[in-house]
Amino acid sequence: MQEKHGKPILYKKLNIPEELLTTSKDEDGNMQTYGGDVRIGDLDGDDQVDFLIFRNTDGTKPVFMAAFNLDGRILWKVGDDGLQPVRPGPAAIHDIDADGKTEVICLFHNPDIESKPDELKDVVVQIRSGQTGEVKKEAAPPELTNRSGSGPNWVHQRILLANFRGNEKPRDFVIKLGDTLVAFDDDLNVLWKYTTKWNEYGKCSAYIPSVGDINGDGKDEVNGGYYLISAEGDPLWEKQLGWHMDSVAITQWDKGNMRAICSGFGHVMDHEGNVILKLSEEIVPHGQEARVANFLPDSEGPEMIIRYNAHNTDVIVVSNKGEVLRKFNLNYSPNNTGMEVVYWNGPDKAAILYNGGMLFDGYGNQVYVMPELPEPVGPSRMGWYHCIPADVCGDKREELVLYNPWDRYIYIYTPEPLDPEKFSGYRPEARQYNPRLMD
Ligand SMILES: [Ca+2]
Ligand SMILES: [Ca+2]
Ligand SMILES: [Ca+2]
Ligand SMILES: [Ca+2]
């Protein structure tokens, strides 16, 4: 039985406010005017979604940050200029001290200190007020400032909110800086750090790790594909499972058990390092992106959709018993990353998959093309529509918040029928404060 999927309506095409834009050449040599990297949350606490944009220096260090609301009204801005981040970067939106007000947790450039581009001597970690952008807390511990690196395993510096201390809500975070994870609490104390010995291209741990409570003790573990780290920073297991460990997750898999999803050669692991599933190098030569959800309403979920052949359109759908149920191709999109699980029909219905301005069901059908979404501008590799699913209007069904970091608009699509009366306010969830965006 296939679900009926509501037709997408362009709910809002939001102009990033003119004074927050900048213009520079992209890596293909074309001039672009753009906002930058985007995160969403409720910054001012009015139960409506707001937007954070930021730009960097040296590719990875934020120097400019600004916030605006759904009406395009600027809430605040700090810093100057900045260029397009090389990859989705180190800023997250969350009420990290659980006082009911939202903060921005970020790295930020300190211009008073001399540093080489690939060193973090000139970087601080900050907690800013979501309402005003003011710095509430700042620190520059050596675990951060002594880090340096280069290449693909260096540029994906993402802040992941986590619950390491067993609080009621996540009040900690972890950031991976090259080969090292550094965990912080909401006072910016370093809780622990962990360094992996595997840092070679194609044979390194996941560029962007994932957090989740795999053993049900109320504290989060960190899955990096080649390791699972306890809430206290100790390795629960370390194994170089397969090459191209590009995509990981901690989520329910077989019989409701929480597992570590590790895309390299298509692995699913338990918290003790036992292999629950290994698809093999033949089936998954380069596990670029893996997404787990109940995609097939007529098969006992969840399933995994895995982009198994690097930066290409080929995907397989794998049951939680390990059978390859389907094989199909997504549409081309620049870089061929950015597929995302969307609860388009509501939280209790089968999920569908976003990719490159389109929606696919788990059977491989192209369900919808987003109306009025132009071809992406920007460089051939990194100009594409990133997707953050979130329930920001209408009923409980998720909307798609789409942005191309090289463009000046944010698009919000909602499923038909849209009934604004059913909207009870936006409540930020992990799907927004820890968005996947790309692998
Ligand atoms: Ca708001
Ligand atoms: Ca707070
Ligand atoms: Ca745990
Ligand atoms: Ca909705």
pLDDT of 148-160, one tens digit each? 999 999 999 999 9
Torsion of CA 240, 242, 246, 249, to 10 degrees: -70
Closest CA to 363 of 309, 426, 303: 303
| Residue 163 Cα to ligand 3 middle (Å) | 9
| Residue 159 Cα to ligand 1 middle (Å) | 21
| Residue 61 Cα to ligand 3 middle (Å) | 31
The structure tokens listed for 166 are 């067993």
As a whole-number percent, the residues of the chain with pLDDT over 70 amount to: 99
| Residue 9 Cα to ligand 3 middle (Å) | 40
| Residue 42 Cα to ligand 1 middle (Å) | 4
Q: What value does the mean pLDDT of the chain take? A: 97
pLDDT digits (tens, 9 = 90+) for 18-65: 999 999 999 999 999 999 999 999 999 999 999 999 999 999 999 999
**pLDDT greater than 80 at residue 415:** yes
What's the confidence (pLDDT) of residue 111?
96
Query: Which burial class, exposed, middle or buried, applies to 289 when counting CB atoms under 10 A from its CB (0-12, 13-18, 19+)?
Result: buried
Name every residue whose Cβ is closer than 8 Å to that of residue 320 and which is 6 or more positions away in sequence.
253, 254, 255, 300, 301, 302, 303, 304
What's the confidence (pLDDT) of residue 354?
98
Beta strands in 46-110 (DSSP E): 50-57, 61-69, 74-79, 91-94, 103-109
As a whole-number percent, the residues of the chain with pLDDT over 90 amount to: 97
Ligand nearest to the CA of 99: 2
Per DSSP, 393 falls in state S
| Residue 189 Cα to ligand 1 middle (Å) | 29
**pLDDT greater than 70 at residue 3:** no
| Residue 93 Cα to ligand 2 middle (Å) | 10
pLDDT digits (tens, 9 = 90+) for 132-178: 999 999 999 999 999 999 999 999 999 999 999 999 999 999 999 99
**pLDDT greater than 80 at residue 1:** no
What's the confidence (pLDDT) of residue 222?
99
Instruction: Give the residue-averaged pLDDT of 197-207.
Output: 94
Angle at 202 (CA atoms; ends 334, 362), nearest 5 degrees: 50
What's the confidence (pLDDT) of residue 301?
84
pLDDT digits (tens, 9 = 90+) for 374-407: 999 999 999 999 999 999 999 999 999 999 999 9
| Residue 131 Cα to ligand 1 middle (Å) | 9
What's the confidence (pLDDT) of residue 168?
97
| Residue 43 Cα to ligand 2 middle (Å) | 10
Angle at 398 (CA atoms; ends 393, 404), nearest 5 degrees: 90
Question: For the whole prediction, is pTM greater than 0.75?
Answer: yes
What stretch of H or E contains 244? none
What's the confidence (pLDDT) of residue 221?
99
